[in-house]
Amino acid sequence: MRRLFFGLCVLFLLVACDEATPVPPVTPPGWQVIAEPQGLCQFAVPPSFKVTEPGKAEDASAKIFASLSAHKYEKNTSDWSAYKTSVKKLAKPVKMIEDSATLLYYDTAIATFKTSAFWIAKPARGYVCIAQVAVPKADAEKQSATLKQIVDSVGVKSK
């Protein structure tokens, strides 16, 4: 108990660091768990999604596309805070949904006119689990519950 309390205090005080214990992914019942090619990270998608290749899935009827990757911190982005600063310069947020010690989640400026492209990143030890989900802009609000479940499912691959 003392160790847990200490760990939470350190996480709270540091706000973000690559040594923080990753938040375990939550998989909704019946959803497919998909790992990215390196086998470090996973996410889940609804049963209607078809896996198109390792780390990628789509629901063609709803025009939702999802991909997952794991990236090691680069020398110039050695921790979670530095990573977030760097990535927000590359994929500019148009709508920030959450920017916290355990999650970076936003709609990006790299989206096409008719598509919302969501950037989802969670820290792990020495790397970041990143998911990108593209949804038709007209359906983004309607798909928000599904998006939130995908967000919650991103994380370090279960063993």
Which tokens hold the place of 152?
A: 């919650």
- Is 5 within the bounds of a domain? no
Average pLDDT over residues 97-110: 90
- Do 45 and 66 meet the contact criterion of CB atoms below 8 Å apart? yes
Average pLDDT over residues 26-41: 91
Beta bridge partners of 45: 32
Q: 20: domain CATH number? A: 3.40.1000.10
* Domains in the chain, number: 1
Say yes or no to pLDDT of 10 above 50.
Answer: no
How far is 89 from 122, CA to CA, in rounded Å? 17
Which tokens hold the place of 82?
A: 């530095």
- Is 137 within the bounds of a domain? yes
Say yes or no to pLDDT of 28 above 90.
Answer: yes
Q: How many CA atoms lie within 13 A of 96 on its CB side?
A: 8
- Is 2 within the bounds of a domain? no
pTM across the whole model: 0.78
Which structural domain range is residue 135 located in?
16-156
- Is 6 within the bounds of a domain? no
- Is 79 within the bounds of a domain? yes
How far is 34 from 57, CA to CA, in rounded Å? 8
Q: What's the pLDDT score for residue 158? A: 76
Contacts 24+ apart (CB under 8 A), 79-83: 79/16, 79/17, 79/18, 80/16, 80/17, 80/18, 80/20, 80/123, 80/128, 81/15, 81/16, 81/17, 83/121, 83/123, 83/128
How far is 72 from 63, CA to CA, in rounded Å? 30
For the chain, the average pLDDT equals 80
- Is 74 within the bounds of a domain? yes
- Do 46 and 159 meet the contact criterion of CB atoms below 8 Å apart? no
End-to-end distance of the chain based on CA atoms, in angstroms? 24
Average pLDDT over residues 33-56: 92
Length of the chain: 159
pLDDT band at 103 (very low <50, low <70, confident <90, very high): very high
- Is 124 within the bounds of a domain? yes
Q: What is the pLDDT of residues 120-143, one digit of tens each?
A: 999 887 789 999 999 998 888 888
- Is 102 within the bounds of a domain? yes
